[in-house]
Amino acid sequence: MQDKTINNALLALRKQIIRGDGAGRGHVVAMLRPRGGDMPRVPTQNEWESKAANLLKAELKPKGVTYAQLVEMLAGIGISEKEVNVANKLPRGKFSAAFMLQCLEAIGAASLRLD
C-alpha cells in the first residue's frame, strides 16, 4: 500500500514538473531510479517557446521578411499587429499557435518542418 502511495505522489510531482519550468526534476529522478523507474527528459515550457520562435524565424529568414514587412503582410490578411509587439513576441517565443499560423499564412508558407 505504501509503495502505491509513493508511486502516485511521484507521478503527481512529475506532472507538475512537466507543466512548469522543470525545477525539481532531479529529486524525482533520484526517487524513481531505486524503484526501477526513470523519468524521460521532458522539454520545459521555455524550451517549447524557444522551438516555436526558432521555427517561425526559420521561415521568415530565407524569405528576407523583416518584422515591419511581417506586420504589413499580417494586415493583408486582416490581422492587426504593431511592429514593436512582433519584435517582442518572436525572439521570446511568447505567442499563440494562432499567431504562428497567421504569420505562416501571411508569408505564404506551404509547409513547416519541425526538425
- The model carries a pTM of 0.66
Write down the pLDDT at residue 1.
47
Write down the pLDDT at residue 13.
73
Instruction: Tally DSSP H helices, then E strands, for the chain.
Output: 6, 0
Grid cell listed for 36 = 526501477
Alpha-carbon distance 27 to 17, whole Å? 11
Write down the pLDDT at residue 36.
61
Averaged over successive runs of 10 residues, the pLDDT of the chain (115 residues) comes to: 66 70 67 63 83 93 95 97 94 93 94 82
Closest by CA to 78, choosing from 106, 58, 98, is 106
Grid cell listed for 85 = 509587439
Phi, psi of 66 (to 5 degrees): -85, 170
